[in-house]
Amino acid sequence: MSTNSFLTHLICCKCEKVFDHREIQTFCTACNKPLLAIYDLDQAKRKLSKDTLRSRAPNLWRYLELLPVLESKNIVSLGEGMTPLIQLTNLEKQLGFSNVWVKDEAQIPTGSFKARGLAMAVSKALEFGIKRVAIPTAGNAGGALAAYAARAGIECFIFMPEDVPRLNFIESEVCGAQVTLVRGIISDCAKIIGERKAEMGWFDMSTLKEPYRLEGKKTMGLELAEQFNWTLPDVIFYPTGGGTGLIGMWKAFAELTELGWISGNKPRMVSVQSTGCDPITRAFEAGKAESEFYQNAETLAAGLRVPKAFGDALILKALRESGGLAISVTDDEIVESMRDVARQEGIFMCPEGAATWAALKRLREAGDVKPSDRIVLFNTVTGLKYPEIFAA
Ligand SMILES: *Cc1c(COP(=O)(O)O)cnc(C)c1O
Ligand SMILES: [Zn+2]
């Protein structure tokens, strides 16, 4: 079999049990924790160089050797990746800062960075001949899965909260997915899939319950390094739901270090949540290794309404290893930040993305970030998907 990928196996993030990447895997059968994709980076280094990358198309498949798809013919792509880094030239001045950037994931298929993970997971599903997939979602992951599954000809079942942002429902239905609205939130949706998947023949695409969405999200870290000419920012602000992006970027930085492509300090990772659902902030502040289920989660930042992340231990570990922290902001601060960033920079952020700007302001007041720090905020999805917030 011809392959460009240097994937060699999967390993449990907790008990380190090894799993065969040539077979369909979900999560660790011994301890129910996520599996991580491991690559032969020594070999990859010989084949791939920073120079080789230069001639490749500006999408996430440029890192093919470090991605899990074994045969290129299985790639399901809508052109995702290499989103711009936009400096907040007006707003940074007001803070007395000089290096604040937004990684603008709004500019990606489906208007959502969930496209990265689901492009990867759907490509792997196609590679394995999987015919039916299901996903519990707070909204954007459903829309992204519907799009890639449509392109791949895979049947798609989506479970989302009945009060999901309306456009997430519409985009999923229009792409031909079978959408069920659930009274409850993402954890209730996950439960339904868990109960019915055997009977329905669904492959569960829940984040970190299959190994490859993480690899798609990892490309945000690879892109950042390349865009900053193989250096890394000092601080990254990330709106955390399931934490896939944060864990993925941290994994990317470790792989790039092993490749010898970056050196020196890695960024401090800052997890941002809403006070209406902040299990990671609570666990971080309590010094815990895992989070507790957050009861009665409620926030207009729909993507952050994840009461218990399956990969919570990995999120907390990355925050601590990086010397970073976790912080929560209120929904009022989020809406105010959406307006500020839009008015002063022309970027209509999603509420989750705007939360990172609110968090930066807070940390500046607390003296946790320095004016000279090179800072990256993640705008994870386009604000255009949330008309409800301003409809009134
Ligand atoms: C899913 C989502 C997040 C959280 O992403 P994770 O990587 O799962 O933590 C943040 N913002 C938006 C808009 C989302 O849809
Ligand atoms: Zn295990």
Pocket test for ligand 1, best of 352, 378, 384, 388 (most atoms within 8 A of CB): 352
| pLDDT > 60? residue 1 | no
Alpha carbon nearest to ligand 1 atom 5, residue: 241
On the CB side of 266, how many CA atoms lie within 13 Å of its CA? Answer: 22
Quick: pLDDT tens for 339-391.
Answer: 999 999 999 999 999 999 999 999 999 999 999 999 999 999 999 999 999 98
- Nearest atom in ligand 1 to 350's CA: 13
264 — pLDDT class (breaks 50, 70, 90):
confident
Q: What local confidence, expressed as pLDDT, does residue 2 receive? A: 59
| Average confidence score pLDDT of the chain | 97
Q: Which atom of ligand 1 is nearest to the CA of 240?
A: 9
206 contacts: CB under 8 Å, gap ≥ 6: 135, 136, 190, 193, 310
CB of residue 303 inside a 6 A radius of ligand 1? yes
pLDDT score, position 284? 98
* C-alpha 238 to ligand 1 mean position (Å): 9
Mutate to test the pocket of ligand 1, among 380, 384, 386 (most ligand atoms within 8 A of CB): 380
Instruction: Tell me what pLDDT residue 365 has.
Output: 92
Q: Which of 232, 310, 317, 303 is nearest to 272 (CA)?
A: 303
pLDDT at 392 over 80: no
pLDDT at 391: 84
Q: Is the CB–ligand 1 distance for residue 299 below 6 Å?
A: no
Q: Does domain 85-110+213-390 correspond to CATH entry 3.30.450.20?
A: no
The 3-class SS string of the chain reads CCCCCCEEEEEECCCCCEECCCCCCCCCCCCCCCEEEEECHHHHHHHCCHHHHHCCCCCHHHHHHHCCCCCHHHCCCCCCCCCCEEECHHHHHHHCCCCEEEEECCCCHHHECHHHHHHHHHHHHHHCCCCEEEEECCCHHHHHHHHHHHHHCCEEEEEEECCCCHHHHHHHHHCCCEEEEECCCHHHHHHHHHHHHHHHCCEECCECCECCHHHHHHHHHHHHHHHCCCCCCCEEEEECCCCHHHHHHHHHHHHHHHHCCCCCCCCEEEEEEECCECHHHHHHHCCCCCCCCCCCCCCCCHHHCCCCCCCHHHHHHHHHHCCCEEEEECHHHHHHHHHHHHHHHCCCECHHHHHHHHHHHHHHHHCCCCCCCCEEEEECEEHHHCCHHHHC
Q: Is 248 in the pocket of ligand 1 (CB under 6 A)?
A: no
381 within ligand 1 shell (Cβ under 6 A): yes
pLDDT in tens, 22-44: 999 999 999 999 999 999 999 99
Which residue CA neighbors atom 12 of ligand 1 most closely? 303
Q: Identify whether the C-beta of residue 136 lies closer than 8 Å to the C-beta of residue 213.
A: no
Residue nearest (by alpha carbon) to ligand 1 atom 8: 242
Contact 140 CB / ligand 1 (< 6 Å): yes
Is any atom of ligand 1 closer than 6 Å to the C-beta of 241? yes
Arithmetic mean of pLDDT, 100-109: 98
Q: What is the pLDDT of residue 219?
A: 98
Q: Is 345 in the pocket of ligand 1 (CB under 6 A)?
A: no
State the pLDDT at residue 96. Answer: 96
Q: Which two tokens stand for residue 203?
A: 């492959």
Q: Which of the ligands is closest to the CA of residue 29?
A: 2
**Pairing of the two strands 35-39 and 85-87:** unpaired
For ligand 1, what atom is nearest to the CA of residue 217? 7
Task: Answer whether 242 contacts ligand 1 (Cβ < 6 A).
Answer: yes
Give the Cβ contact number of residue 64 at 10 Å.
17
Q: What fold, for 114-204?
A: Rossmann fold (3.40.50)
Ligand 1, atom 1: closest residue by C-alpha: 303
Mutate to test the pocket of ligand 1, among 212, 381, 386 (most ligand atoms within 8 A of CB): 381
- pLDDT tens-digit map of 172-230: 999 999 999 999 999 999 999 999 999 999 999 999 999 999 999 999 999 999 999 99
The strands making up 268-274's β-sheet, listed across from edge to edge, are 85-87, 100-104, 375-379, 235-239, 268-274, 325-329
